[in-house]
C-alpha cells in the first residue's frame, strides 16, 4: 500500500520529485516550531498547478491527509505532520509570473521567496510591503497561509491587506480562482483564505499588491533606562498622530541577546529598552516627524536619542534588530518565540505580568515587539537538556497568551495558531464560535484531509503528539 | 396566520414597534435602488440584541424570511423584499456604546449614523474614516453589510479595513461574538461578514477603528478640457508615489449636473473634466505634494489648477462633488447609479466604451468616479415615463459592468450586488466559484431565511420580481 501510493505520486510528478526514505523524510519532521515533531509519509514536489491538482486528487481519493509546505520557516508548527501526512512542498513553484507596474500588481507562484519580489521590482521604484524577519527565505505562499506580518505592518498592514487574488486547489483537487479583480463582489473569500494556515486548500498562484517605495525613510534610535518610559513614548508617538512605518522595541534581556549576536550596535550594559522608530513618505514631511518623535522621547526620560546619520547606520540598527530571534541562541541553548497581541495601552501592565511569569517558572524571558501594533514576541529561554524545562517553557508561553487574552488581546499577531496554540484558542473563543469556524473550514475541506487538526482544539479527536526528545 | 405572526412579534418588541398596515409598509418597498419594489409582510423595530434574537427565533421557527435594514440608502436593492419578507429595522439600535481613545476604537450599535461617529470623537481629534456620500443618514450597520467605501477610501481603505469585531445574531437566533480583539486568530470571519449584504445574519454591535485626524488637509481643483488628459493626470499622480486621501473625477455631463444643483462652483460651460485631489498628513509634507500634483496637471494640459485658498473654498468644492448623484435630478427625471471598478490604467479606453453604450441606447451617461481606485459611478439618465426606457437604462448599466469585467475589473466597488447585479455575478465568477460562496453562506444561513436570494444568481429558484410601474 505504502509503495503503491509512492508509485502513484511518482507517476504524476516524476520519481525524482518524491521523497519516501526515512533519512530524507526527517528533514521535514518540523518547521520553525521545534517543540514537536512528526515524520511525514512522503514529500512530493509538484511543479505546476496541474500537478498539485493531480497529487491532491490521488491522495484524497485514498483518504490520505496532506500538508502544503513552503520554506518551513513557520513558527507555530503549521507544517508539522501530526499523523504521517504527505507533505506537498511548493518550493519548485517559484516563478514570478507577471508584473503589472501600472496597476501595481504582481502574480507569483507560492514558492516564490518574499524578498525576491521586492528585489525584482526595485528598479522601477516598487516593493512588496509585508516583511517578516524571515523574508530572505520564507515564501509568499507561506506568508499567505499564515497572514504574515513584519516590522512595517504598523503602517502598511499584514499580508491580507496585500493579496488581491488566489488560485486555489481545493482538497478534492478542483482548481478555483478566488478574487484577482479589484473589489471582488460577493463574499471576501480571499480574506478568509489568507491566514487559513493551509487548512482550506493549496494556493498555487497569488496576485499581490506592489507599493511605490517612499521618497525618503528616516530612522530614530532611542535608548531608555526604564522599559516603562519606552512604553509610554510608544503611546505618545501614536497619540501625536504620527503613523511610523515601524515602531520596534527590545527590552533589557533582548538587548543583551542582540549585542552578543552577529550585529552588535554597542548598546551600554544594563540598558532598559531600545526603540527603533522609522518614518517614511514625502521627503518634506519627514524632518518634522523626526523632530516630534525626538521631543516625545525626551519628555519620557530617554537616555539617548538620535536619527540615523546615514544609510549605513540605519542598516546597522535594523540588522541588529532583525537578528533578535536567532541571537537568543547566544544566551540560551533553546528558546521559544511567542506571539501575543495586546491593546497598546496595556503594555506596561502586561510587561509586569510577563516578568512575574518569568519568575514563576525560573526562566528568563526576553521581549522583542512590534510595539506600535501591541504585537509582543516574548522569547522564552530554556535548556531542553534539563528534564522538564521544555514543558515549563511551553507552559510559560501559554501563560503569557492567557495574559494577552485577559487584557482584551489575542494569542497570535502574525505567526498563526498551527499546532502550538490550538488549546489557547479557547482563551478567545467559545465552543460555538469555534464550531462556526470549523463549519466554514468544512466548506472547503470537508474531510479534514488538508492540513488536518491544525488551528482548532479538537476535544473529540485523539491526536498523537510526539514530543521532541530534547 | 398573518395576524398571529404580528401578535407574536408585538409580544416581543411591543405593539408600537411593529408595522403591518399596507399604508405603513409601502415606505419600505424599496431602498436607494428604485428600479424594483416589493412590499414587506411587516416591519419590526427591535431595541436590543435580545429582541433581535427573539424576533429572529420567532420568524425562523415558522420559516418566515426576513431582511435587516438600516437607513435604506443602499443603492443595489439589498433591503428590498422579493417575496414578502419581514423587515427588521435597526434604526432604534443607534447608541454609541463605548469610545476607547487610547486604543482608538469605538463600539456602536448598527443603527448609529456614520457621520455622528466622527462628530462624537472630533473633540479629541479623531474620526471614523469610511465616508460614503450618504454619510449624514446611512448607518454603520448598513456600511458593514455593504462594505461601504467613500471618497477617502483611496488612502484609508473601505469599511472592512475599519471593522475590528462584530456581535452577530445568526439566522437561527443564536448570538455570537466575532472578533473584537486585535489580530483575531483563526479564520477572518469579521472579514467575510463585512460586505455579506445581510445574508449571513444580523449584526447588532460593531467595534470599529478610529483614526487621528490628519494635521493638515489640502485640496487641489484641476479643470481639464479633455477627459483623457484628466485620466492621464490621475495615473501620473499615483505613479509619482503620492497617495492622495481622495482623487475624484467628474466628466462633462456630471459637471453640467452639479452646476445645476444646490452647490454650483461656477465651472465654465463645456469643461471636459474636473479632478478634485486631496492630500492630508503632516503639515510639512503637504506643500511639496501639492506642488507635485499641480505640476503633473500642467504637464497634462490642464486649463486651470489651484489649491483651495481656505477651508470655505474647499468645502464648496466638496459640497459640489458630494451632491453629484442627487444633482442628476436636474438633468433628468430619473437616473440609475452604476458602480463598476477597473484597473486604473484602462480608464481612457473604458470611458470610450461607455460613450459607445450611451450612444447605443440613446441615453446620456454622466461619469463620477473615485478615479484613484478605478471605481466608476456612471449615472445613466432616463425617463421612466417613456415606455421601455427603464429597461434600456438597466440594460445599459449591465453593459457598462460587462465592460468593467472585460478589462479585468469588477461589477461593484462599494454599492454591493443586492438584487441589482445578481446576474452580472456571472461576468466575474464561474458556477463553481459561485457555489463555493453559496456553501459559505449556508454555514451561517442554511435555510436562506436571512435576506434570501440576494447577491447570487439563482437559476434553480423562481423569484417573482415586481418591476416598478414607472
> How much of chain A, in percent, has pLDDT values that exceed 70?
97
- Residue A385 Rama label (left phi>0; alpha psi -120 to 50; beta): alpha
Cβ atoms of residues A142 and A71 within 8 Å: yes
Tell me, yes or no, whether B349 lies in a domain.
no
Structure-block grid coordinates of residue B324: 453629484
pLDDT in tens, A65-98: 999 999 999 999 999 999 999 999 999 999 999 9
- Give contacts of B187 with chain A, Cβ < 8 Å: 192, 195-196, 437, 440-441
Q: State the average pLDDT over residues A259-280.
A: 95
- How much is the pLDDT for B239? 86
Asked if B99 has any chain A CB less than 8 Å from its own CB, the reply is no
- How much is the pLDDT for B181? 78
A221: DSSP letter: E
Tell me, yes or no, whether B340 lies in a domain.
no
Of B299, B230, B235, B315, whose CA–CA distance to B271 is shortest? B230
Tell me, yes or no, whether B407 lies in a domain.
no
- Report the alpha-carbon distance of residue A362 to residue B373 in Å, rounded: 54
Q: State the average pLDDT over residues A309-330.
A: 93
Cβ atoms of residues A298 and A291 within 8 Å: no
pLDDT in tens, B50-101: 999 999 999 999 999 999 999 999 999 999 999 999 999 999 999 999 999 9
Tell me, yes or no, whether B17 lies in a domain.
no
User: How many distinct helices (H) and strands (E) make up chain A?
Assistant: 16, 21
CB count, 10 Å around CB of A105? 19
The shortest C-alpha distance from A374 to chain B (Å) reads 9
- Among candidates B181, B194, B410 on the partner chain, residue whose Cβ is nearest the Cβ of A182: B410
* Whether residue B462 has pLDDT greater than 60: no
Contact across the interface for A195 and B177, Cβ inside 8 Å = no
Burial pattern A5-30, b for ≥16 Cβ within 10 A else e, equals: bbebbbebbeeebbbbeeeebeebbb
The chain-wide mean pLDDT, for chain A, equals 93
A173: DSSP letter: S
- How much is the pLDDT for B459? 57
- How much is the pLDDT for A459? 57
The kind and range of the H/E element at A357 are: helix A347-361
The chain-wide mean pLDDT, for chain B, equals 93
- Report the alpha-carbon distance of residue A136 to residue A139 in Å, rounded: 9
A371: DSSP letter: G
Asked if A192 has any chain B CB less than 8 Å from its own CB, the reply is yes
Radius of gyration, CA atoms only, chain B: 22
* Whether residue A386 has pLDDT greater than 60: yes
- Report the alpha-carbon distance of residue A226 to residue A270 in Å, rounded: 10
Residue A464 pLDDT class (50, 70, 90 cuts): very low
- How much is the pLDDT for B221? 98
Asked if A436 has any chain B CB less than 8 Å from its own CB, the reply is yes
Tell me, yes or no, whether B110 lies in a domain.
no
- How much is the pLDDT for B467? 31
Tell me, yes or no, whether B227 lies in a domain.
yes
- How much is the pLDDT for B49? 98
CB count, 10 Å around CB of B191? 25
- How much is the pLDDT for A184? 86
- Report the alpha-carbon distance of residue B356 to residue B360 in Å, rounded: 6
Structure-block grid coordinates of residue A330: 547566544
Asked if A455 has any chain B CB less than 8 Å from its own CB, the reply is yes
Cα atoms in the 13 Å half-sphere on the side-chain side of A392: 20
* Whether residue A467 has pLDDT greater than 50: no
* B74 φ, ψ (degrees, to nearest 5): -55, 145
The shortest C-alpha distance from B263 to chain A (Å) reads 31
pLDDT in tens, A342-385: 998 899 899 999 999 999 999 999 999 999 889 999 999 999 99
Contact across the interface for B374 and A182, Cβ inside 8 Å = yes
Asked if A414 has any chain B CB less than 8 Å from its own CB, the reply is yes
A155: DSSP letter: H
Residue B458 pLDDT class (50, 70, 90 cuts): confident
Q: Which residue has the cell 504637464?
A: B299
Q: State the average pLDDT over residues B435-463.
A: 86
- Among candidates B241, B341, B432 on the partner chain, residue whose Cβ is nearest the Cβ of A174: B432
- How much is the pLDDT for B461? 37
Contact across the interface for A343 and B440, Cβ inside 8 Å = no
The kind and range of the H/E element at A257 are: helix A252-260
The kind and range of the H/E element at A382 are: strand A375-382
Closest residue on chain B to A416 (Cα): B185
CATH code of B321's domain: 3.30.70.2190
- Give contacts of B451 with chain A, Cβ < 8 Å: none
* Whether residue A109 has pLDDT greater than 80: yes
- How much is the pLDDT for B283? 83
Question: What number is the ipTM of this complex?
Answer: 0.89
Of A80, A219, A73, whose CA–CA distance to A136 is shortest? A73
- How much is the pLDDT for B466? 33
Tell me, yes or no, whether B261 lies in a domain.
yes
Asked if A145 has any chain B CB less than 8 Å from its own CB, the reply is no
- Report the alpha-carbon distance of residue B421 to residue A52 in Å, rounded: 34
The shortest C-alpha distance from A79 to chain B (Å) reads 16
Q: Based on the structure, what is the number of domains in chain A?
A: 1
Q: State the average pLDDT over residues A415-424.
A: 95
pLDDT in tens, B281-339: 888 788 889 999 999 999 999 999 999 999 999 999 999 998 898 899 899 999 999 99
Asked if B374 has any chain A CB less than 8 Å from its own CB, the reply is yes
- How much is the pLDDT for A282? 80
Residues of A (216-245) whose Cβ lies below 8 Å from B:
235, 239, 241-242
* Whether residue A469 has pLDDT greater than 80: no
- Among candidates A161, A345, A455 on the partner chain, residue whose Cβ is nearest the Cβ of B102: A345
Domain residues for the domain of B241 are 214-326
Q: Is B353 exposed, middle or buried (0-12, 13-18, 19+ CB in 10 A)?
A: middle
Interface test with A, best of B148, B157, B186, B340 (most A CBs within 10 A): B186
- Give contacts of A284 with chain B, Cβ < 8 Å: 284-285, 287-289
* Whether residue B347 has pLDDT greater than 60: yes
- Report the alpha-carbon distance of residue B321 to residue A418 in Å, rounded: 49
Tell me, yes or no, whether A257 lies in a domain.
yes
Residue A468 pLDDT class (50, 70, 90 cuts): very low
Amino acid at each position: 500500500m505504502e509503495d503503491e501510493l509512492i508509485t502513484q505520486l511518482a507517476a504524476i510528478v516524476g520519481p525524482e520529485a518524491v521523497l519516501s526514505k526515512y533519512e530524507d523524510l526527517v528533514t521535514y519532521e518540523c518547521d520553525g516550531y521545534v517543540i514537536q515533531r512528526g515524520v511525514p509519509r512522503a514529500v512530493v514536489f509538484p511543479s505546476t498547478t496541474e500537478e498539485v491538482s493531480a497529487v491532491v486528487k490521488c491522495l484524497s481519493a485514498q483518504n490520505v491527509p496532506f500538508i502544503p509546505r513552503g520554506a518551513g520557516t513557520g513558527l507555530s508548527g503549521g507544517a508539522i505532520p501530526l499523523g504521517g501526512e504527505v507533505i506537498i512542498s511548493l518550493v519548485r513553484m517559484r516563478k514570478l509570473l507577471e508584473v503589472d507596474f501600472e496597476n501595481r500588481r504582481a502574480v507569483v507562484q507560492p514558492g516564490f521567496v518574499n524578498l525576491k519580489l521586492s528585489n525584482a521590482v526595485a528598479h522601477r521604484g516598487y516593493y512588496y510591503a509585508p516583511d517578516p524577519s524571515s523574508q530572505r527565505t520564507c515564501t509568499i505562499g507561506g506568508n499567505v497561509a499564515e497572514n504574515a506580518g513584519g516590522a512595517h505592518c504598523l503602517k502598511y498592514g499584514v499580508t491580507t491587506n496585500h493579496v488581491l487574488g488566489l488560485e486555489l486547489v481545493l482538497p478534492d483537487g478542483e482548481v478555483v480562482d478566488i478574487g484577482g479583480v479589484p473589489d471582488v463582489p460577493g463574499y471576501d473569500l480571499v480574506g478568509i483564505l489568507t491566514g487559513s494556515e493551509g487548512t482550506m486548500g493549496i494556493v498555487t498562484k497569488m496576485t499581490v499588491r506592489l507599493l511605490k517605495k517612499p521618497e525618503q525613510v528616516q530612522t530614530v534610535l532611542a535608548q531608555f533606562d526604564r522599559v516603562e518610559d519606552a512604553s509610554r513614548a510608544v503611546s505618545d508617538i501614536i497619540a501625536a498622530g504620527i503613523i511610523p512605518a515601524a515602531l520596534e522595541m527590545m527590552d533589557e534581556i533582548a538587548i543583551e541577546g542582540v549585542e552578543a549576536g552577529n550585529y552588535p550596535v554597542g548598546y551600554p550594559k544594563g540598558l532598559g529598552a531600545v526603540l527603533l522608530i522609522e518614518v517614511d513618505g514625502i521627503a518634506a514631511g519627514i524632518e518634522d516627524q523626526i523632530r516630534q518623535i525626538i521631543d516625545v522621547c525626551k519628555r519620557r526620560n530617554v537616555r539617548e536619542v538620535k536619527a540615523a546619520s546615514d544609510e549605513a547606520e540605519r542598516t546597522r540598527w535594523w540588522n541588529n534588530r532583525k537578528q533578535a530571534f536567532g541571537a537568543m541562541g547566544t544566551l540560551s541553548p533553546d528558546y521559544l518565540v511567542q506571539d501575543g497581541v495586546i491593546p497598546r495601552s496595556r503594555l506596561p501592565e502586561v510587561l509586569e505580568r510577563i516578568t512575574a511569569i518569568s519568575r514563576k517558572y525560573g526562566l528568563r524571558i526576553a521581549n522583542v515587539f512590534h510595539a506600535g501594533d501591541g504585537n509582543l514576541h516574548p522569547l522564552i529561554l530554556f535548556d531542553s537538556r534539563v528534564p522538564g524545562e521544555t514543558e515549563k517553557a511551553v507552559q510559560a508561553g501559554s501563560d503569557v497568551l492567557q495574559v494577552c487574552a485577559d487584557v482584551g488581546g489575542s494569542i497570535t499577531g502574525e505567526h498563526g495558531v498551527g499546532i502550538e496554540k490550538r488549546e489557547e484558542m479557547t482563551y478567545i473563543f467559545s465552543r460555538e464560535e469555534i464550531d462556526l469556524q470549523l463549519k466554514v473550514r468544512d466548506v472547503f475541506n470537508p474531510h479534514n484531509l488538508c492540513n488536518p487538526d491544525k488551528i482548532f482544539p479538537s476535544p473529540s479527536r485523539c491526536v498523537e503528539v510526539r514530543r521532541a526528545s530534547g
